[in-house]
Structure 1
């Protein structure tokens, strides 16, 4: 499940690209857009992998990573539950692992492609050994998935750029995205596995306009019930980017329900703390509070 050999953003230097030989990072780096050079011969890098294997390191572990599932502050079960989002992971570093913010702030994660930074609440970390290229943060640690398939995480946040026709509103995009987000998180992951036994039902918890990084966005939040486990919460948040063509940015939240899941308030904390890259002051405005309803 590891990415193919190629030039990828350096996870430790977001303004450089680094050669991934299909197994490990090498020491070859270049500036983005630089004239491509012949693929490096990374015999030394592969020798390191052989040494790691000989030392008993696990190079590929099929780990199903549960997406963040929101839980209500009072632990209520009034809405239907959802399986946590899952993703196959490996112990090899992912070329797409988000890099630290340009300012070096350990409490923020940067999404250079979409021109935003996001806060890291307590209990959250930058992705480690996660194969999904768009994951920007996860809760710390893993647990055995409820259906007995791999390992899951209690929380996950990912970002991506929406591919939509000009003029498509954040509301329309969020309403279109939420079902796909829930299916990937709690029904069937991209590896074709069902770590929660599939989704039994879902319930709309809340939706509406929200200010994100000074832009008017829209969110849709579901509570889903799964065949196995406590289920959880999935949210699709869409808002225009403040850079380039202002393409819509999609932020997906997956939080486990129950006492082990992250607090539902972390969704709001992360949303309010989203900033354009290089702008520490722009935050949420009118409508930025998106606590659960219903």
Structure 2
């Protein structure tokens, strides 16, 4: 019988350097640095006390696992003391039970994209459980590793020295996240509102306020229009941006309703370097057309859409 872990702070699957609050059923947007743990809010503590029945079951289960692990460890140490050889022992991870869990602990469910991707049966796709979609992992793309930005679902392999402020840059990134703007009701309005933020995040200032490309100096609209995404009506806006140094790049904001939960709007951002070292611009279209609802490989992605770039 599988059980979900109780509410608590766990390693963020999309950015393992921080901890993220698990409310017992899904990841929230609350994050913290592991070096400075914060106590959960009174509402969260009250929710934990209210869920005492499930917490007791999980606590008993964890206690049983710890007891068995202790017995096995004691037996191995006794065997070694009696003259046995060294043995490499691997034990399964135990599920943390509260907000004091360290950043190296991860609850068994993994609703975020990068965590689900690592356990996906299909190596050619990335799963974003939170938004209920899978994205195709094309040739020339890899699952994110050592990426500081939240919600990155794939990148081009390797890094290069940024041409502006010191740092490491990547030629391509794809990000998938739930839209947070509550006043935006349509995919078209969301994509048109998000594109400037997408461009600034990719080519203006990074998370530590550095300017890896010395800022954006110009931009122009490449194309925009309606597109079917995972069987839903979506909208995209694509810009070409010029930067202070380097070849500049292409950014796109793709918005569409999620197929799960409250069907909140989802925003997928693309950031591709321009020039010979950047990924093919057609990969934006191929990834869009390959987006599927989780568990429904037969649903068309961008069927009937026309989103080829105009140069």
Asked if these proteins are the same fold (TM beyond 0.5), I'd say yes
Classify 1:278/1:168 alpha carbon distance in 2 versus 1 (closer, same or farther; 3 Å): same
RMSD (Å) for aligned C-alpha atoms:
3.0
In 1, the alpha carbon distance for the partners of 2:292 and 2:227 equals 14
Greater share of helix residues, 1 or 2? 2
Contact 1:28 1:40 in 2 (8 A): no
Q: Which runs of 5+ in 1 are unaligned?
A: 31-35, 46-94
Structure with the greater relative contact order (CA < 8 A, sep ≥ 6): 1 or 2? 1
- Across the two proteins, how many residue pairs are aligned to each other? 229
Partner of 1:215: 232
- Which residue pairs with 2:45 in the alignment? none
> 1:39 corresponds to which residue?
100
1:183 aligns with 2:204: no
Unaligned runs of at least 5 residues, structure 2: 1-7, 15-23, 36-91, 105-111
Separation in 2 of the partners of 1:278 and 1:196?
40
Structure 1 CA distance, aligned partners of 2:239 and 2:285? 15
> What secondary structure sits across from 1:171 in the alignment?
helix
**Secondary structure in structure 2 of the residue aligned to 1:125:** coil
Structure 2 counterparts to residues 245-264 of structure 1, below 5 A:
245-264=262-281
Aligned to 2:161: 144
Q: Which residue of 2 aligns with 1:110?
A: 127
How far did residue 27 of structure 1 move? 3.4
Measure how far apart 1:131 and its partner are: 1.6
| Structure 1 residue 279 displacement after superposition | 0.7
Counterpart of 2:10 (choices 7, 10, 14) is: 7
Residue aligning to 1:170: 187
Once the two structures are superposed, the pairs formed by residues 67-106 of structure 1 within 5 Å of their partners are 97-100=114-117, 103-106=120-123
C-alpha distance in structure 2 between counterparts of 1:171 and 1:162, whole Å: 13
Does the CA-based 8 Å contact 1:116-1:276 persist in structure 2?
yes
Which is richer in strand?
1
Once the 2 structures are TM-superposed, how far is the Cα of residue 211 of structure 1 from its aligned partner?
Answer: 0.4
Q: Deviations over 1:186-224 (max 9, x none)?
A: 111121010000000001000000000000000000000
Q: Distance in 1 between matches of 2:192 and 2:251?
A: 12
Q: Distance in 2 between matches of 1:169 and 1:103?
A: 31
TM (norm. structure 2) is 0.67
